[in-house]
Amino acid sequence: MLHSVNGRVAAYRKRMAERGFRPIQLWVPDTRRPGFAAECRRQSLVLRSDPQEKEILDFIDRAADWPEQ
């Protein structure tokens, strides 16, 4: 069974490469990890009174309201 799975994966990768795609690996934070929410909160509180953070968030708000063309 392992061989057939490996064969299917290899064939899929080959087809995708032929279509001009390449594989990438993307690591993201594990939101299920113990302590994740607490760390998010800690970082948010650190930024709460940061004037640069307010400036960035204000810019994002303005950019989000950009009129459609």
Residue 33 belongs to what domain range?
2-64
- Residue 69 located in a structural domain: no
One digit per residue, the tens of pLDDT, for the chain of length 69 reads 557 899 999 999 999 999 999 999 999 999 999 999 999 999 999 999 898 999 999 999 998 877 776
Rounded to the nearest 5 percent, the helix, strand and coil shares of the chain are: 60, 0, 40
For residue 15, what pLDDT is reported? 97
Q: Please state the φ and ψ torsions of residue 32, each to the nearest 5 degrees.
A: -90, -10
For residue 3, what pLDDT is reported? 73
For residue 1, what pLDDT is reported? 57
For residue 65, what pLDDT is reported? 79
The model's pTM: 0.52
Q: Are 18 and 12 in contact (CB under 8 A)?
A: no
| Cα 37 from Cα 35, distance rounded (Å) | 6
- Residue 26 located in a structural domain: yes
- Residue 60 located in a structural domain: yes
For residue 69, what pLDDT is reported? 65
Q: How far is CA 30 from CA 21, 33, 52, in A?
A: 27, 6, 27
